Amino acid sequence: MQNRDAVFLEDFCPKLRVRRWRQSLHTFTGESCIYCGKPSESIDHVLPRSRGGLSITENCVPACLSCNGHKSDAEAFDWYRRQRFYDPRRAMAIRAWMDGDLRLAIRLLEWAQPQIDKNQARSKDYSTDWDFQAA
């Protein structure tokens, strides 16, 4: 019953739903920037909205303000390859994320940033949920 109430409430409060969705994106990466690994403070559109990028999970990644600001309207992968903190594992994670394979994206990010495991137990819980859902 409580679950049905929650859905009901969110249908009438789209802002609440958007906020929860954004929070869930940050939780997937252990609240770290998908590009550089610093704390994520914003949501970046991989394909910019100005180029028709949609506000859907596949196109929205947690990013720090620095990466989000510097990337602006540049093509994400072109921009990313030019950065000092470029990490091919993260680039693969972003591609997996855009393919909708968050499970693979999280694995790649954990590979690039092993401390996610220790410091962000919650992200581990989330990836376990995904394992369960995909099984």
Q: Which range binds Zn ion by CB under 5 A, 10-18, 23-31, 56-64, 101-109?
A: 56-64
Contacts of 119 (CB under 8 A, 6+ apart): 30
Q: Smallest distance from the beta carbon of 64 to Zn ion, in angstroms? A: 3
Closer by beta carbon to Zn ion, 25 or else 33: 33
Taking the CA atoms of 75, 78, 80 and 83 in sequence, report the sign of the dihedral they define.
negative
Can you tell me which of 28, 30, 36, 120 binds Zn ion, judged by CB under 5 A?
Answer: 36
For residues 59 to 88, the per-residue mask of contacts with Zn ion, x marking binding by CB under 5 A and - elsewhere, is -----x--x---------------------
Residue 109 binding Zn ion, by CB under 5 A: no
Residue 35 binding Zn ion, by CB under 5 A: yes
- The residues pairing with 45 across neighbouring beta strands, listed in sequence order, are 60
Number of residues located near Zn ion, criterion CB under 5 A: 6
Q: Smallest distance from the beta carbon of 63 to Zn ion, in angstroms? A: 5
In 10 A of CB 85, how many CB atoms?
12
Can you tell me which of 25, 33, 46, 61 binds Zn ion, judged by CB under 5 A?
Answer: 33
Q: How many secondary structure helices (H) and strands (E) does the chain include? A: 8, 2
Distance between CA 134 and CA 128 in Å, rounded?
A: 10
Nearest to 105 by CA among 42, 30, 20: 30
Q: Where along the sequence are the contacts to Zn ion (CB under 5 A)?
A: 33, 35-36, 38, 64, 67
